[in-house]
Amino acid sequence: MKNKALLLISFLLLTSNCTPTEKYDWEDGRWIDLTHEYSDETLFWPTSSTFKIDTVFVGQTDAGFYYESFEFCTAEHGGTHLDAPIHFFENRKTVDQLELNQLTGRAVVIDVTKQVAENRDYEVQVRDLTNWETEHGLIPDGSILLINTGLAAYWPEAKEYLGTDKRGDEGVAALSFPGIHPDTAQWLVENRSIKAAGLDTPSLDYGQSVLFETHQILFEQNIPGFENVANLHLLPPTGAYIVALPMKIKDGSGAPLRIVAHIMNK
């Protein structure tokens, strides 16, 4: 089983932005889970249905062995999840059409926690990216761009994380959280080549967005989004390798996402 797992990871690596001759030691390093668990505490958009799980059977069967089974129901877009490009742009990729190569690769992690501490409705600016590049070099082609806003520290407290614990349209009107400015999204598609973009908030667009322009700009280019990502504060600015695998829902506009990062020891 261990050898099969290593073979799968090696395949993902070779189909990513690493060259076949580049060495990556999966045994030397650690895995970090970037996924919030699904439960009755999982946060969803105020107008969305929430996660529900029901017991099918728990206990000793008549045949004398122990058995557990459950069934669950969830909206596509809640908890740690993937937004497929079709979510905000017609005739773009659905969840099942995204290739493994696009869901795996080297991470660029940009920290905007200071900006968000001053303004929780902060929209990530182009200067945040160029300032990062001044220190670390240009964002490499084929990177997965992750934005650490610090908001994940408040999960799963709705009022602190979403800015409101209200539901329905009243809740949508009260949303308050950071996102990526549409000008930044436009700059990315015109000047850089990323595989995907993600952050530790409920949306790529900030809470009070009504047009979701950042979604539209990125999704037109078939760049998917990762939302409600956890533990980004544990990742270095460069060097982490991301594996982000959604539930493979045919024709899905989104799906629950299990996203993890591998960091090699120095």
Residue 32 CB neighbour total at 10 angstroms: 17
pTM: 0.90
Q: What is the pLDDT of residue 8?
A: 53
Mean pLDDT of the chain: 93
Q: What is the pLDDT of residue 21?
A: 45
Provide DSSP, 122-190: -EE-HHHHHHHHHHH-SPPTTEEEEEE-SGGGGTT-HHHHTS----HHHHHHT----EE-HHHHHHHHH
Burial class (CB in 10 A: 0-12, 13-18, 19+), 219: buried
Q: What is the pLDDT of residue 12?
A: 53
List domains and CATH numbers for the chain. Answer: 2-49+76-264 (3.50.30.50)
Q: What is the pLDDT of residue 20?
A: 44
Nearest 10 degrees: Cα torsion 40, 43, 46, 48: -70
Q: Which residues contact 223 (CB under 8 A, 6 or more apart)?
A: 85, 189, 194, 195, 196, 197
> Rounded CA gap, 219 and 153, in Å?
28
pLDDT < 70: residue spans in the chain: 1-24
